[in-house]
Amino acid sequence: MPSTITAVSFKSSLLSRRATLWLAAIAVAVSVVNCASLPPPRTPIEALYRKRCGNCHELAEPGAYSGNDWKRIMVQMSGNAGLSDAQAAELLGWLMKNSGSKTP
């Protein structure tokens, strides 16, 4: 008789461990989805920006820098991101258009 009880409680502890693993897996999956919760890019240039400029550091908000800052930054970062001249020019235009307006 005692051996039956042990078997049952062993089985239920196995089940609850499996349930815990599942909960952990679901929690991880949910947090991964949350991390990628940026709205979909609206333009190809925005997609390029997200794909090429967020690998080494967090993506900067275009509005966090002035147009002149972006000119200076892009001299260095277009090389970092391996952009072609055309891509760099287009991206700089987009960043300047969306740049912060407080400083020139």
Query: Is the Cβ of residue 39 or residue 63 nearer to ligand HEC in the bound state?
Result: 63
Exactly one of 6, 31, 34, 55 binds ligand HEC (CB under 6 A); that residue is 55
Neighbouring C-beta atoms of residue 45, cutoff 10 Å: 16
CA angle (98, 36, 52) in 5-degree steps: 55
The secondary element (H helix, E strand) that includes residue 51 is helix 44-53
CB of 77 to ligand HEC, least distance (A): 4
Query: Is the Cβ of residue 16 or residue 43 nearer to ligand HEC in the bound state?
Result: 43
Site string for ligand HEC, 4-43 (x = CB under 6 A): ----------------------------------------
- Torsion, Cα of 66, 69, 71, 73 (10° steps): -130
Burial 88-99 (b: 16+ CB within 10 A, else e): bebbbebbbebb
Residue 66 makes contact with ligand HEC by CB under 6 A: no
What does the binding site for ligand HEC look like in residue numbers (CB under 6 A)?
Answer: 52-53, 55-57, 60, 65, 73, 77-78, 80-81, 83, 91
